[in-house]
Structure 1
Amino acid sequence: MSTFRALRPVMPILIGASIMLTLSFGLRQSLGLFMPAVTQDIAVTVTDFTIAIALQNLIWGFTQPFAGIAADRWGFRPVMIFGGVSYLIGMLTLANANSVTTILIGAGVCVGVAMSCASFAMTMSVTSRLVPPAVRSTALGMTSAAGSIGAILIAPYGQMLEISFDWRVAAYGFAVLAFLIIPAAWIAGRVDKEAPLTPAANSTDSLSASGALLTALRNPAFVVMTSAYFVCGMQVVFLATHLPSYLNLCGMDPMLGATAIGLIGGFNILGSLFFGWAGGRWSKQALLGGIYCSRSIVIAIYFLVPPTPTSTVLFAGLMGFLWLGVSPLVSGSVIEMFGLRWQPMLQGFAFFNHQFGSFLGAFGGGWLFDQFGSYTLALQIGVTTGLVAGVIQIAFALYKPPKIPQPV
């Protein structure tokens, strides 16, 4: 109850930020629904559509630090509203697409920019500004869980519209939801007036953007966390992209892949809440390493034997629990190391590495499959790098340098 009492005065702003994240992330996660119909209706191949999604990931990662700098200069409200407008333009462009170029602009460029301005980094930063340190990690976990709620609700909504009408009507339906990001961002933007930043001691709050970034790059803990974040992106996007294909190759019911992705989203809510709570009690860096190692072990065990419906459901539940629990841990770690002012920029810098891993997870996995006719090598690389990154992350978090004796 103490957590909810602490959050009650700022609950309207937190609800606005959570709705913004629910809509932005849920829409983004559901764009794959359009791929079969789009490739049949217009002159776009599966590769073209997936390139648009890959471009979206890279633009999201590349523009995230700049969105953080803009939020510091002009405030969160205009940046987040700009993200909502960009999302709306992207969905309207997709709904009227007739070529590869319009798909790339709508689903790729516009949505990528929108995600950097109105998604995880901004939502986590707004939450961090509003809540006291004692409950910050738990609040970040609660906010992170909101993204999964959107993925669970928006995908069936889009599927229903596509089945009842066609994919263009469904895309217009997504545009309506994208429009709702704008008022949610307006409400969340009250953080600019209600929680002005007070520079903290022993932080980068008093530095310029370049000074804060240089300080972060000289911090070994930040460098290790950012490097390991690459593996995180590679693993989760590889599974999100290729798990349904793998199940089809194994002769499983096509609905099993959709069920698995849905279960991942559902259990991710529990994982986000748990790791947000745990991050307030134990080392966030060590918990991150534990997630990477646990994911790798679960992946290795599942793919060692032919899949069954039971093993796939169990795998999806475990992976869902370990899915986005990293988000409150990374956000909290950046705050602990550098303070609040440059959190969105520095978290965005780390996130760019995550998105580069996401790009390799999606297309690297597909390229290796085309070369060798199986996912074996891709899985071996994913499991090995995940274990190495996890062990290094844990070791670095737990290592205490010996004290140098002072001269008498």
Structure 2
Amino acid sequence: MHTTPPKLSMFQVLACGAAVVTLSMGIRHGFGLWLQPITQEMGWTRQSFALALAIQNLSWGLIGVFAGMLADRFGAFRVLIGGAALYALGLVGMALSPTETLFALTTGVLIGAAQAGTTYAVIYGVIGRQVPAEKRSWAMGVAAAAGSFGQFLMVPTEGFLITAMGWKEALLVLAAMVLVIVPLAFWLREPRFASAAPVQHSQGIGEALSEALRYPSFLMLTAGYFVCGFQVVFIAVHMPSYLRDHGLSPQVASYSLALIGLFNVFGTYISGTLGQRMAKRHILAFIYFTRAVVITVFLLVPLTPTSVYLFSAVMGALWLSTVPPTNAAVAQIFGVQHLSMLGGFVFFSHQVGSFLGVWLGGYLYDRTGSYDTVWMLAIAFGVLAGLINLPVREHPIARGAAQPA
């Protein structure tokens, strides 16, 4: 006789999932603070540092698809354990790499793989399976808000560690901190994955992916996420150097990134809550259009600490607010059976955009001495993403044996 497997409590899922995302996302949001200390001491160019972070984003996105497959099949617990170990190793490698090549392998490939196993795709899979559909978008908003709080909490902490201890020692401290994910993973061990045998699905991985790739709305969500990655990672990595180039102090950069994290706590929570009541495509279009306007205004007004803080606050409210409606829309359309894998595939597009945003920032700065071209691309892409998301159809896909959304 078939019985529904028991579920984890919603509080347990949200508390532990939010703590994991707080650590994993909080640490990576501060990597831009290491750009100048590392390049100046090691004698590397900004492009070489940016390339390593670009590889990190690409590795995160590419490996995220497979991490999602593993999490859907064997549960998030095993993936989180492996991701935490890779994160610690990658941070140690980031601190101790003597060459640009080794720096790219550790900071890029290792940490990227670690983020694939410790961030949204894996945690959202647990939320999708354990939280009722009528609360799913809200719950995803809570998890995304936790990642934003991590940025608000961790970026100033990382800045303090660099100042107090030096950049290498600061990275070693973070390597120890990230291992806290290991005990948290035990509290996210889902009952249905408790046995050693993999969970059997009615729809295979190939069938699920083929179905999604033939569905235009999935491709539209994926294209919009590309723009999200391009914009936010370019700003996160290059904003500190952009502000210093214009004569503002390093503290302004740290405070600006912290403000983005603080206001994104509210933005992602509101976005997830609205996703239970409004069409998610309208929320996404509004976010992308508004980003384009905000960046335009920021470039037109005089650059002062006040203008930076205002830009950071407004941009922060829009920062990761795309995450809950995008993932909730995927769950609503396709169901939760392969949510981590499909979410990982959409996120791969985000990371391709991140790769281009962070790499182009370094490449064009080294060639032209300015970030102006990349700012212009961020504006144009924002308008394009808003237009792409408007026609998305969110109702559950029709199947011969449809899975409830």
If the length of structure 2 is used for normalisation, what is the TM-score?
A: 0.88
Of 316, 321, 324, 1:320 maps to: 316
Say if 2:351 is the partner of 1:355. Answer: yes
| Equivalent residue number for residue 300 of structure 2 | 304
Q: SS of the counterpart of 1:188?
A: coil
Q: SS of the counterpart of 1:324?
A: coil
Describe the superposition over 1:288-326 as per-residue Cα deviations: whole angstroms up to 9, x where unpaired.
Answer: 111101111111122123223322221111100000011
| Equivalent residue number for residue 242 of structure 1 | 238
| Equivalent residue number for residue 186 of structure 1 | 186
Alpha-carbon distance in 1 for matches of 2:183, 2:219: 37
Structure 1 residues 281, 230: CA separation in 2 closer, same or farther (over 3 Å shift)?
same
Describe the superposition over 1:124-156 as per-residue Cα deviations: whole angstroms up to 9, x where unpaired.
Answer: 111121111111111110111111222222233
Greater mean deviation of Cα atoms: 163-172 or 60-69: 163-172
| Equivalent residue number for residue 63 of structure 2 | 63
| Equivalent residue number for residue 272 of structure 2 | 276
Alpha-carbon distance in 2 for matches of 1:248, 1:209: 47
Answer whether contact 1:57 1:355 (CA < 8 A) is retained.
yes
Greater mean deviation of Cα atoms: 82-91 or 367-376: 367-376
| Equivalent residue number for residue 402 of structure 1 | none
Q: Which amino acid aligns with 1:154?
A: M
| Equivalent residue number for residue 26 of structure 2 | 26
| Equivalent residue number for residue 342 of structure 1 | 338
Describe the superposition over 1:159-184 as per-residue Cα deviations: whole angstroms up to 9, x where unpaired.
Answer: 33333332232122111111111111
Shift of 1:193: 4.9
| Equivalent residue number for residue 4 of structure 1 | none
Q: Which amino acid aligns with 2:108?
A: G
Structure 1 residues 365, 32: CA separation in 2 closer, same or farther (over 3 Å shift)?
closer
Say if 2:134 is the partner of 1:138. Answer: no
Structure 1 residues 171, 334: CA separation in 2 closer, same or farther (over 3 Å shift)?
same
Shift of 1:348: 1.1
Alpha-carbon distance in 2 for matches of 1:370, 1:85: 35
Alpha-carbon distance in 2 for matches of 1:306, 1:43: 32
Shift of 1:192: 4.2
Q: Which amino acid aligns with 2:255?
A: T
Q: Which amino acid aligns with 1:289?
A: A
Structure 1 residues 242, 34: CA separation in 2 closer, same or farther (over 3 Å shift)?
closer
Q: Which amino acid aligns with 2:152?
A: I
| Equivalent residue number for residue 405 of structure 1 | none
Structure 1 residues 45, 115: CA separation in 2 closer, same or farther (over 3 Å shift)?
same
Answer whether contact 1:77 1:192 (CA < 8 A) is retained.
no
Alpha-carbon distance in 2 for matches of 1:59, 1:45: 21
Percent identity, aligned pairs only, is 37
Alignment of 1:195-214 (within 5 A): 206-214=202-210
Structure 1 residues 79, 354: CA separation in 2 closer, same or farther (over 3 Å shift)?
same
| Equivalent residue number for residue 85 of structure 2 | 85
Say if 2:286 is the partner of 1:262. Answer: no
Q: SS of the counterpart of 2:187?
A: helix
Q: Which amino acid aligns with 2:344?
A: G
Answer whether contact 2:53 2:358 (CA < 8 A) is retained.
no
Describe the superposition over 1:76-95 as per-residue Cα deviations: whole angstroms up to 9, x where unpaired.
Answer: 21111111111122123233
Structure 1 residues 158, 304: CA separation in 2 closer, same or farther (over 3 Å shift)?
closer
Alpha-carbon distance in 2 for matches of 1:11, 1:192: 18
Alpha-carbon distance in 1 for matches of 2:388, 2:161: 46
| Equivalent residue number for residue 48 of structure 1 | 48
Answer whether contact 2:272 2:324 (CA < 8 A) is retained.
yes
Q: Which amino acid aligns with 1:121?
A: A
Shift of 1:225: 1.0
Shift of 1:47: 3.0
Higher relative contact order (CA 8 A, sep 6+): 2
Answer whether contact 1:43 1:99 (CA < 8 A) is retained.
no
Answer whether contact 1:141 1:277 (CA < 8 A) is retained.
yes
Alpha-carbon distance in 2 for matches of 1:161, 1:311: 27
Q: Which amino acid aligns with 1:377?
A: T
Answer whether contact 2:74 2:193 (CA < 8 A) is retained.
no
Shift of 1:398: 9.8
| Equivalent residue number for residue 16 of structure 2 | 16
Q: Which amino acid aligns with 1:114?
A: A
Describe the superposition over 1:78-124 as per-residue Cα deviations: whole angstroms up to 9, x where unpaired.
Answer: 11111111112212323333332332232212111111111111111
| Equivalent residue number for residue 286 of structure 1 | 282
| Equivalent residue number for residue 380 of structure 1 | 376
Alpha-carbon distance in 2 for matches of 1:282, 1:198: 34
Say if 2:126 is the partner of 1:126. Answer: yes
Describe the superposition over 1:49-77 as per-residue Cα deviations: whole angstroms up to 9, x where unpaired.
Answer: 22211111000001111111112222221
Shift of 1:10: 3.1
Answer whether contact 1:62 1:352 (CA < 8 A) is retained.
yes
Greater mean deviation of Cα atoms: 106-115 or 92-101: 92-101
Answer whether contact 2:137 2:325 (CA < 8 A) is retained.
yes
Greater mean deviation of Cα atoms: 35-44 or 228-237: 35-44
Greater mean deviation of Cα atoms: 97-106 or 55-64: 97-106
Answer whether contact 1:152 1:266 (CA < 8 A) is retained.
yes
Unaligned runs of 5+ in 1: 1-6, 200-204, 400-408
Answer whether contact 1:129 1:191 (CA < 8 A) is retained.
no
Answer whether contact 2:152 2:260 (CA < 8 A) is retained.
no
If the length of structure 1 is used for normalisation, what is the TM-score?
A: 0.87
Shift of 1:372: 4.6
| Equivalent residue number for residue 157 of structure 2 | 157
Answer whether contact 1:80 1:189 (CA < 8 A) is retained.
no
Describe the superposition over 1:182-215 as per-residue Cα deviations: whole angstroms up to 9, x where unpaired.
Answer: 1112222236459xx999xxxxx62211111110
Alpha-carbon distance in 2 for matches of 1:289, 1:319: 15
Shift of 1:43: 5.6
Answer whether contact 2:155 2:257 (CA < 8 A) is retained.
no
